[in-house]
C-alpha cells in the first residue's frame, strides 16, 4: 500500500509532476534525514504522496549531496509544500530552488546553525545538583 521509489535530483521535479497527473492529489509529508557518515550522499529528502481516488500512498526518496545542497521546490505542483520546505531548510539547510519565501520558520530569524543535523548538539545543559561535585 506504500511503495517506495528512489529518484535522482535532476528527475525529481518532473517525476513528481507526472505522479500528480497520474492521480496523487495530496502531498502528505516532506521531510529530510541526515545520514551523517553512514551513507553518502549525506541528506535524503523524503516525500509522501497520497491518492484519494486509488487509496494508496507512495514515498519518494531523493539523495542530496553535501557539496551541492539544492533541490527543486514542488510548491508549483503542491502549494501545501510551502511550510514543509521552509522547515527542512530551517532544520537541515537544504536550499529549495524557486521557493517563494525560503526563510526560517521555527527558529528565530538570526539563529546560526541548522538544529536537526547530526553534528549539531542537542544543547543539553548539565543539571547541577546540590552537594555534588561541579560539572563543567
Partner 1 sequence: MYSPDNIFTTTIDKAVRWSRTQSMWPVTFGLACCAIEMMAAGSAKYDLARYGMEVFRASPRQADLMIVAGRVSQKMAPVLRQVYDQMAEPKWVIAMGACSSTGGMFNNYALVQGVDHIVPVDIYVPGCPPGPQSLMHGILTLHDKIMAGEINR
Partner 2 sequence: MVKNKENSEDLDFWATNSEEGGWNISSTDEGSQKMNDEESEQQMKIQTGSDVVDDYFIEEETSEDERMIVNMGPQHPSTHGVLRLQVELEGEAVRRVKPIIGYLHTGMEKTGEELTYLQGPTNTTRMDYLSPFFNELVFSLTTEKLLDIEVPARAETIRILMTELNRVSSHLVALATGGMDIGALSMMIFGFRERELVLNFFEKTTGLRMNHNYIRPGGVAADLPDNWQKDVKEILKIIPEKLKDYDEMLLDNPIWQGRLQNVGIITPEECLAYGITGPSLRASGQGWDLRKMQPYSGIEKFDFDVPVLQESDVFARWRIKVLEILESLKIVEQAMDNMPKGPYKIQDKKVTPPPRKRLDESMEALIHHFKIYTEGFKVPEGDAYVAVESPRGELGCYIVSDGSSKPFRMHVRGPSFCNLQALPIVMADSPIADAVAAIASLDPVIGDVDR
Q: Please list the helix, strand and coil fractions of the chain in percent, rounded to the nearest 5, in that order.
A: 20, 30, 50
Q: What is the rounded CA–CA span in Å between residue 56 and residue 27?
A: 12
Which one among 16, 19, 27, 64 touches partner 2, defined by CB under 8 A? 27
Q: What is the rounded CA–CA span in Å between residue 71 and residue 65?
A: 10
Q: Is 7 in the site for partner 2 (CB under 8 A)?
A: no
Q: Which is nearer to partner 1, 1 or 127 (CB)?
A: 127
Among partner 1, partner 2, none, what does residue 125 contact (CB within 5–8 Å per kind)?
partner 1
CA distances (Å), 23 to each of 19, 29, 50, in order? 7, 17, 9
Minimum distance from residue 41 beta carbon to partner 1 (Å) = 26
Coil vs helix vs strand at 58: strand
Binding site for partner 2 (CB under 8 A): 1-2, 25-29, 31, 33-34, 38, 46, 48, 52, 55, 57, 59, 78-80, 82-84, 87, 91, 100-101, 103-112, 115-116, 122-123
Amino acid at each position: 500500500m506504500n511503495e517506495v521509489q528512489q529518484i535522482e535530483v535532476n528527475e525529481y521535479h518532473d517525476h513528481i509532476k507526472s505522479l500528480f497527473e497520474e492521480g496523487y492529489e495530496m502531498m502528505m509529508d516532506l521531510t529530510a534525514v541526515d545520514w551523517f557518515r553512514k551513507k553518502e550522499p549525506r541528506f535524503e529528502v523524503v516525500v509522501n504522496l497520497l491518492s484519494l481516488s486509488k487509496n494508496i500512498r507512495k514515498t519518494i526518496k531523493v539523495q542530496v549531496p553535501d557539496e551541492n545542497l539544492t533541490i527543486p521546490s514542488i510548491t508549483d505542483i503542491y502549494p501545501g509544500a510551502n511550510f514543509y520546505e521552509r522547515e527542512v531548510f530551517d532544520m537541515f539547510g537544504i536550499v529549495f530552488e524557486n521557493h517563494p519565501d525560503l526563510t526560517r520558520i521555527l527558529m528565530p530569524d538570526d539563529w546560526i546553525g541548522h538544529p536537526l543535523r547530526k553534528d549539531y548538539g542537542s544543547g543539553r545543559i548539565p543539571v547541577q545538583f546540590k552537594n555534588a561535585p561541579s560539572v563543567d
